[in-house]
Structure formats: structure tokens, C-alpha cells
Amino acid sequence: MAFTLHGIPVSRGIVIGRVHLLASAALEVPHYLMVVGEIEDEVSRLDEAIATVVNELYQLQSELPPNAPAEFAALVDLHRLILQDPLLSEEPGRLIRERRYNAEWALTNQLQAVVEQFEEMDNEYVASRRADVEQVVERVLKVLTGSAHSLSTVAAEAEAEAAAAKKNGTFEDFDPMIVIAHDIAPADMLQFKKHVFAGFATDLGSLTAHTAILAKSLDIPAVVGLGQASRLLEQDECVIVDGEAGVLIVDPSPIVLDEYRLRKRDLELANEKLKRLARMQTRTLDDVSIELHANIELPDDCEFANEVGATGIGLYRTEFLFMTRDSLPDEDEQFEAYRRVVTSMTGRPVTIRTLDIGADKTPNAARAEFGPGVFDTTNPALGLRAIRFCLAEPQMFLVQLRAILRATAFGPVKLLIPMIAHPQEVDAALVLIATAKGQLDARGLAYDRAMPVGGMIEIPAAALSLGMFAKRLDFFSIGTNDLIQYTLAIDRTDNAVAHLYDPLHPAVLQLIAQTIASATRLGVPVSVCGEMAGDPMLARLLLGLGLRQFSMHPAQLLAVKYEILRSDVVACEALAKKIVAAGEPDRVRVLVDRLRAA
């Protein structure tokens, strides 16, 4: 029977294929009592299952391709640490011994107890780790129950099927495989890269969950938050994952299938056409030149940035270099990474952002070095994050500043300070930059003495008092992701308030408009590097607000370029003014639609 499920689109594109059901996180586990003589064997069975998963996680980490997203290794690490915590590695054993539970029962019983403890904790960060604990337990349960539905088993089967189809000459007709699961652990996402899966859909998830972030970076159509998909669907059923609209169409009729085949083809053709824009200059219809920079997390990302013709790196999130390891990278290692980015961009400017750790981006290494208490506070997004943390740890900050300065000897580099709110933060950072320069002078090392220093405008206070920062800095970059979070008091990682996270809220638009206008008036270059800059639907609005420099994930760059090439700045300005003055969100949306259609 045909039906449609609606969820959250997290990764664009359309795929038509066959369902591969992955066992639900809430696996139905057997419950029975052990007889006394079997108890120690049962404890060993559980210990072996845990050891198997720990080994799997080590192996997964050792097999990570160099271009794997940086958060990925950190998450694999986190899952291993969770599993090795006595709460999971020892407590279920006690339940087997004292209550005679079978291993699966003991483990799920303990999971329930841990989840309840998490729920009682008044700590957002800890609460958000609950899903990680559930995913780890599910892995162990899969080993215990010998479930044939683990992602790697499905992947191996899928590969074998694809190989057989190829051999028989039927590969053309071979259906892409779509994984349907209750939830997918970020660790399992790597299988999507290695194998032949073409998309995925899950019951749980939100736009900002780790799994969604990884899906975007892997560029496979994905929809999450579908509620009951894994219960309602059957193995091998035909489905369409529409990553554009966020829907999953089950057992589609021939008419719907034909329609989607056409849409898919259109999307593919459109993507092919977009590729032709990569080498074109970005000029509007009325001949205004626009810079389109790329956001990157790792030096390897420069390849994609170059492929799409980025005119520079507008945001290099250096904290990802710190995410995948147990100790902080030293000056030489950081310098090597920064130098690689600079040389890869062959003379185009590279904006290196200093460490933005804290809140949802806290590397294990930083926890180990500075203690978890520094980061796991009640409101980490309002705590010792980004420049606040760097100024609290000046020795660590100086290491990064020297590494960035050394990279300036290899091409144009700008240094960007995240999360500024107070002028004294900028003053202190500038003093430390001068100190780092002095240290390099003493070592006789070359660097660009005139390296521009800019600030992220992502806290409303900074947007509202731009003048005092303009006196101190050479450029601004608006971080709309955090600007929205802090303006609307919405935790950008909290699923429960995701529906209130609104880039078109009149207050957000006023802050952006005011920042661009003030910076322009003060003669300080300004760009936008938050997600808004990569949304083609908003390109004309930003143009109309006076933005001339955009920075976004390379995957979005050509679609934004396409919008800009067919826009007239003067026409955009008139409507953008009306949008900012509109006041009511509904009116804003109507006008934004009109601007896009103009």
C-alpha cells in the first residue's frame, strides 16, 4: 500500500531504491533468568560482546579515510569511552550475578537506569549524549543477539548483490539501496562512504544532530525525524527518499515513480549545468562583482573548494584539527595544516578562524588537558567558548597564533576571532598576536607583519556596537548560525526548539542589515559565513542588504552563484529594504518569495 511519511530534509537530492531495514535501537531483547551454574558464562558472553564492539570501534578509527569528517573520529572515540565506562562495562555484569538476568536484559536494564540519570541532569551537554549511549548499547545488543541487520552486514550483502548484478549485466536496473533505521549512529555513517548505499531515512534525528551533519558532508539524500518509518516499512519495499522536500514515499504508484524519475533527472541535469559555472566570474546582471568563498573544516576540503571555483577560504574552522585526537596539536603540526590550506589555495585569500571550542565543539584533547568542568557547565554556549576560552588559556592560544602567523609566509592569510562581545577581548587578542610576532622574530621566522585581523559578528552585542570593533579590526564576518541562536535564545543543537530557529525572524534580519550597513559606512569589509550565506533562497536578500562577500560549504557555492548571476542588485535593494521593515514574519516570507521570483 502506498503512503508518504514527512520528516526533516537534512541532505539534498532524490533517490529511488529498495529498503534495507536496520534493526531498531529499541531492539526487542529476550528476557530470562539464568540458572546459577551459567552465570559466569553469561557474564563472559557480555564481556566478549563489549570487547568485540570496542575492537570494531578501534578498527573503524584506524580505517578512517583521510577525508573523513573530523567530528567522525571524535565520535568514534566518544562511543568507545562510553562503552568502557564502568556504568556499562561493569554494572550489567553485577545485574547478571545478583539478579540472574540474561546479558541482553541486564544491558537494557542498565541502559534505562543510565538514561534516567541523564534525564535528571540539568546539563544540556550531558543530556545530548544520551543518544550516544543508546547507540553504543544497540551495537552491543546486535553482537549479543547475532542480529543480521548491522549496517556492515547489510553493506557487505549490498556490495555482493551489486557485484552479482554487474556480472550478469543487469547493473543498469540495479536498485539503489536505502537504509531505513530508527536512528543511525554517526559511527555507522562511514559505511555510506565505503559501500553502495544511496540514501537513508530515520525515525529520529534533527537538522543539527551529528548524523545529519555527517550526511550533509557525504552528500547523500537523507530525511530524518520520520517517526515510525522503521516500524512501518518492510525489507526490499520500493521507496523514494526526497531530500529536497523531506518526505519518504513508500511503494509509490507508477505515476509517482515516473514523476520522481523526471525530477531526479532534472536535478542531475541542473547539477551538471551548475558545474559549468565554476570558472565564471561572479558578477550580477548590473555588473557588481561578488566574492564567493568556501567554508572548510580540514585542509583536504580545499580540493572541493577549488573544484567549485571558490575565490578564497572565508572560514577555516580550525577547531576540527583538535577534534580527532587525545592531545593538543603542537605549533608545527598546526602550522603544517594551515600552510597546506594556504598553498592549496594558490594565492587566493585564506581566513583562518582561531579556535572556537566550547559548547557543542569540545575536543577530547581539550577536556583531557583543561578538565571537563571547564566545558560541561550549565549553559556551555554562554560559557567559556571561543575567544573567551583562548584568552583564559593564553599559552595554548599563543601556540595557535604563532602557527597561523608562520603560514602567512606562504600566501595571503587573514586571522578571524570568533565570538567577540567586548572590546577588551579584541585588545587582549591583539596584544597576544603582537607577542606571538615577537616570539617569531626572536626565532628568526618569516611572517606577514600586516596580517589582517577580523572578528566574527555572531553575538547581538557585537552587531549592535560595531563602531568600537571597527576601530580595532580590519574586517568582519557575520556568523548567522550563532547570531540566530543568541538573538532568539534558541540552542542551535536542541531538537525540541529547532522549529523556532528562524533566519527570517525580523530581529535577526535587522541585526544583519544593520551590521552590513554600518560596516560598509565605516569602510570595514564584511562577509557572511554562517549557513544563511549558502542558502540560494536567501542570496538575493543578502545582496540587497549590501553583502558582497559570501562564504559557504563548497557544495552550496554553485547554486548560490547561479542565483547571483541572474540578480540585479538595484532591484534586490528595493525589496530587501521592504523585507527588513516588514516587521511580521509572514509578511517577510511573502516578500522573500517575491524577491526570489523577481
Select from ligand PEP, Mg ion, none the partner in contact with residue 548, using the beta carbon and a kind-dependent cut-off of 5 to 8 Å.
none
Shortest reach from residue 482's CB to Mg ion, in Å: 4
Q: Are 443 and 406 in contact (CB under 8 A)?
A: no
Amino acid at 29: V
Three-state DSSP at 231 gives helix
Spell out the alpha helix ranges (H) of 408-479. Answer: 423-443, 460-464, 466-470
Q: Which of 80, 216, 293, 317 binds ligand PEP (CB under 6 A)?
A: 317
- The residue annotated as part of the active site, out of 302, 529, 553, 572, is 529
Closest CB to ligand PEP among residues 20, 210 = 210
Q: Distances from the Cα of 296 to the Cαs of 303, 338, 592, in angstroms?
A: 10, 12, 28
By CB under 6 A, the residues from 390 to 409 that bind ligand PEP are none
Q: Does the footprint of ligand PEP cover residue 529 (CB under 6 A)? A: yes
DSSP state of 378: S
Contact between residue 146 and residue 166 where contact means Cβ atoms under 8 Å apart: no
Nearer Cβ to Mg ion, position 482 or 491? 482
Q: How far is the CB of 387 from ligand PEP (least distance, A)?
A: 12
Of 20, 182, 210, 553, the catalytic one is 210
CB neighbour class for 587 (10 Å; exposed up to 12, middle 13-18, buried from 19): middle
Residue 391 C-beta: closest distance to ligand PEP, Å = 18
Contact mark string toward ligand PEP, 340..369, x via CB under 6 A: ----------------x-------------
529 classed as catalytic: yes
Q: Which three cell numbers stand for residue 360?
A: 557543542
Using the minimum distance from each CB to Mg ion, give the nearer residue, 203 or 458. 458
Instruction: Please report, as a single letter, which amino acid is at residue 520.
Output: T
Q: How far is the CB of 397 from Mg ion (least distance, A)?
A: 18
Please give, one letter per residue, the 3-state secondary structure of 506-539.
HHHHHHHHHHHHHHHHHCCCEEECCHHHHCHHHH
**Cβ(109)–Cβ(88) below 8 Å:** no
Give the span between the Cα atoms of 499 and 477, in whole angstroms: 26
> How far is 546 from 261, CA to CA, in rounded Å?
40
Question: Residue 7 or 454: which CB sits closer to ligand PEP?
Answer: 454
Q: Choose which of 221, 530, 544, 554 interacts with ligand PEP (CB under 6 A).
A: 530
CB 16 within 8 A of CB 260: yes
Q: How far apart are CA 329 and CA 450, in angstroms?
A: 26
- CA distances from residue 320 to 72, 74, 157, 356 in whole angstroms, order as listed: 10, 10, 34, 9
> Does residue 422 have an active-site annotation?
no
* Complex with ligand PEP: residue 147 or 481, whichever CB lies closer: 481
Q: Is 210 in the site for ligand PEP (CB under 6 A)?
A: no
The residues that touch Mg ion, with contacts defined as CB under 5 A, are: 458, 479, 482
For residue 317, the partner it binds in ligand PEP, Mg ion, none, with Cβ less than 5 to 8 A by kind, is ligand PEP
User: Please, which residue, 80 or 385, has the CB nearer to Mg ion?
Assistant: 385
- Least Å distance, CB 541 to ligand PEP, is 16
CB of 479 to ligand PEP, least distance (A): 3
- Mark 455-484 with x for binding to ligand PEP (rule: CB under 6 A) and - for no binding: ---x--------------------xxxx--
Q: 529 contacts which partner out of Mg ion, ligand PEP, none, CB within 5 to 8 A by kind?
A: ligand PEP
- Closest CB 530 distance from ligand PEP, rounded Å: 3
d(CA 516, CA 511): 9
- Which residues would be at the binding site for ligand PEP (CB under 6 A)? 315, 317, 356, 458, 479-482, 529-530
- Indicate which residues carry an active-site annotation: 210, 529
